[in-house]
Copies of this chain bind each other. A is one copy, B any other.
Amino acid sequence: MARKRVTLADVALASGVSSTTASLVLSGRGAELRISEAAQQRVREVSEALGYRPNIVSIGLRKGSSLAFGFVSDTIATSQLAGDMIKGALEAAHAHGFMLFIGETEGDAKVERRLVNAMLDRQVDGIILASMFTQTRRLPSGLDHVPAVVLNALPLEPHLHIPVVVPDELEAGKAAARLLLEAGHRSIHLVGAGPGPADTPPATVAGRERLAGILEVLAEAGLTPASGHLCPDWLPAYGWEATRAIIESGGAGGAIITFNDRLAFGAYQAIHEAGLSVPADMSIISFDDYPLADWLRPGLTTFAIPHYDLGRRSVELLLEAIAARDDGPANPAIVHRLPMPLRTRGSVGPPRG
């Protein structure tokens, strides 16, 4: 174990040049600094033969950069979706030679501070503050010295140089309502929020914005929701409960907008248990695009959270900030809203009768 790595000095020695020369050649500045073609050739061959790889830690010390970003999330284990966000960030980072440090805070601001510090101690070139749960948040200190991006959350006090990347929930809410209206529905029930604009779970921007979009489009059509069901949590059991209530009060034949796919799953269960079927008796449209949505029978029509794109975009913003650091001004604190693509499956049909 631990046979020593080949260093630049080894390459230089074996090529009969100074390490300065070796460095210049290998960084492509050989011609510029007038190193003879013969010497360049030799250095490159020796480097290749010895399997030389530069020590990035050393470069990091010299340049104050580490070719790494920090990705700090409140949770990474809730769902596949978090994984997709990381995947997007990872691929964008790797494509530019950057690595990603991952950290999980579980929503604890103290843990977050510790992680951000640990990453700054490792000279990361940027930090992504991601959220899966919480949708509005405070920012930790220490982010003045390094590019940062807030991902899938809105900062309570917007920071001058920290851009934000979020899904366009408002637009998706509008699209959901439009889609049901176009299918001919007039009786539209909401499960997870509503019926009023203030009936939204606390601390989730997603709920508030989806609801606002839905209500706006319904209002344009001269409608209000047939009913609204605020749930303690967006889990199948509550979707089941709310849907039973809808059916018992004669809502069958209409449509349901569930505020996420787990609620929709509960809705399917209630509809099937009542001897009804989707979409013949009830149409359902939802948000998130959990893997589940594709497994249900019929498949669930839903607006996907663009997790992969969110992750990618956040890294790209860091890269832009780095590129701009030297000359241009820093990132403006723009809120980037990424579209939520519709996954059309089989859960929406015309109203019954």
Can you list, as one digit per residue, whether each of A93-130 has a CB less than 8 Å from chain B (1) or not (0)? 01001011111100000000001011111110000000
Which B residues touch A330, using CB under 8 A?
1
CB within 8 Å of B: which of A283-303? Answer: 291-292, 295, 297
Interface centre among A3, A57, A94, A100 (most CB of B within 10 A): A57
CB within 8 Å of B: which of A203-259? Answer: 235-237, 240
Query: Which 6 pairs between the two chains have the least Cβ-Cβ distance?
Result: A77-B83, A236-B295, A77-B87, A56-B121, A57-B60, A57-B123
Assess the A99–B118 pair: CB atoms within 8 A.
yes
Assess the B87–A104 pair: CB atoms within 8 A.
yes
Q: How far is the CA of A76 from the CA of B73 in the complex (A)?
A: 15
Instruction: Given the known inter-chain contacts A61-B61, A99-B101, A297-B269, please indicate yes or no for A121 contacting B83, CB distance below 8 A.
Output: no
Assess the A145–B83 pair: CB atoms within 8 A.
no
Q: How far is the CA of A81 from the CA of B184 in the complex (A)?
A: 40
Can you list, as one digit per residue, whether each of A141-179 has a CB less than 8 Å from chain B (1) or not (0)? 000111000000000000001000000000000000000
Assess the A265–B295 pair: CB atoms within 8 A.
yes
Assess the A77–B84 pair: CB atoms within 8 A.
yes
Q: How far is the CB of A347 from chain B (nearest CB, A)?
A: 15
24 A–B pairs (Cβ distance < 8 Å), ordered by A:
A1-B145, A1-B161, A1-B325, A2-B325, A56-B121, A56-B122, A57-B57, A57-B60, A57-B123, A58-B61, A67-B122, A68-B122, A71-B102, A76-B83, A79-B83, A86-B102, A90-B103, A90-B104, A94-B103, A99-B103, A99-B119, A100-B101, A102-B102, A272-B272
Q: How far is the CA of A108 from the CA of B165 in the complex (A)?
A: 30
Which B residues touch A312, using CB under 8 A?
none
Which B residues touch A161, using CB under 8 A?
1
Closest to A161 in B: B1
Q: How far is the CB of A9 from chain B (nearest CB, A)?
A: 14
Can you list, as one digit per residue, whether each of A1-26 has a CB less than 8 Å from chain B (1) or not (0)? 11101000000000000000000000
Assess the A76–B68 pair: CB atoms within 8 A.
no
Is A78 an interface residue when CB atoms closer than 8 A count as contact? yes
Is A53 an interface residue when CB atoms closer than 8 A count as contact? yes
Q: How far is the CA of A121 from the CA of B91 in the complex (A)?
A: 19
Is A66 an interface residue when CB atoms closer than 8 A count as contact? yes
